[in-house]
């Protein structure tokens, strides 16, 4: 907890008082015992600290691992959120995710528009170790999310399978 809070404080303190937007590269399965609040989600805590400093009007984008455990509060506080579409992760996918989220953030700023994120929990559990994207059902699931990204008005679509080894209520 102490290490996380130190790093979080340093990161937030390093953000200038006036910025147009924030782009983050996060894993998404950071569970910190003893954090304030119910969830103890490190990413949610970090985002709340960024929002406290900059306000809700500054757009925040993040590229994350598909094995992220998201709280609803975290997702709904983001403006742009996308995860990798390959497991095991491939270099092109890492670069692709970074480029998509960065481009979406720049588009939001250029066009003075705001996107919103939402979370749709699925009625099943897809464990990361069993969700290899070169095999079914992962291959088709990822293809469907990529088809969604080609639809007008949808910037990013990702199936986050969670990090099963993080024993938390929002896994």
pLDDT in tens, the chain (171 residues): 999 999 999 999 999 989 999 999 999 888 898 887 666 889 999 999 999 999 999 999 999 999 888 888 999 999 999 999 999 888 889 899 999 999 999 999 999 888 999 888 877 777 667 788 999 989 999 999 999 999 999 999 998 888 777 767 776
The whole-number pLDDT of residue 56 equals 92
The Cα 61–Cα 89 span in angstroms is 20
The whole-number pLDDT of residue 10 equals 97
Record the tokens describing residue 142, joined without a space.
Answer: 């990822």
The Cα 43–Cα 27 span in angstroms is 9
Cβ atoms < 10 Å from Cβ of 55: 8
The whole-number pLDDT of residue 50 equals 97
For helices 2-13 and 42-54, angle between their N-to-C axes, nearest 10 degrees = 30
Give Cα 160 distance to the centre of its chain.
9
Give the pTM. 0.91
């Amino acid at each position: 907890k102490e290490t996380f809070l130190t790093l979080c404080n340093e990161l937030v303190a390093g953000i200038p008082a006036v910025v147009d937007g924030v782009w983050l590269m996060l894993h998404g399965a950071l569970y910190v015992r003893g954090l304030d609040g119910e969830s103890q989600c490190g990413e949610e805590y970090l985002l709340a600290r960024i929002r406290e400093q900059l306000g809700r009007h500054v757009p925040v984008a993040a590229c994350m691992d598909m094995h992220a455990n998201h709280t609803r509060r975290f997702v709904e506080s983001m403006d742009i959120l996308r995860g990798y579409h390959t497991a095991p992760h491939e270099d092109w996918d890492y670069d692709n995710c970074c480029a998509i989220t960065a481009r979406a953030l720049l588009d939001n700023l250029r066009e003075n528009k705001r996107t919103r994120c939402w979370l749709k929990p699925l009625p099943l559990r897809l464990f990361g170790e069993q969700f290899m994207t070169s095999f079914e059902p992962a291959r088709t699931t990822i293809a469907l999310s990529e088809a969604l990204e080609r639809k007008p008005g949808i910037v990013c679509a990702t199936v986050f399978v969670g990090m099963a080894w993080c024993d938390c209520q929002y896994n």
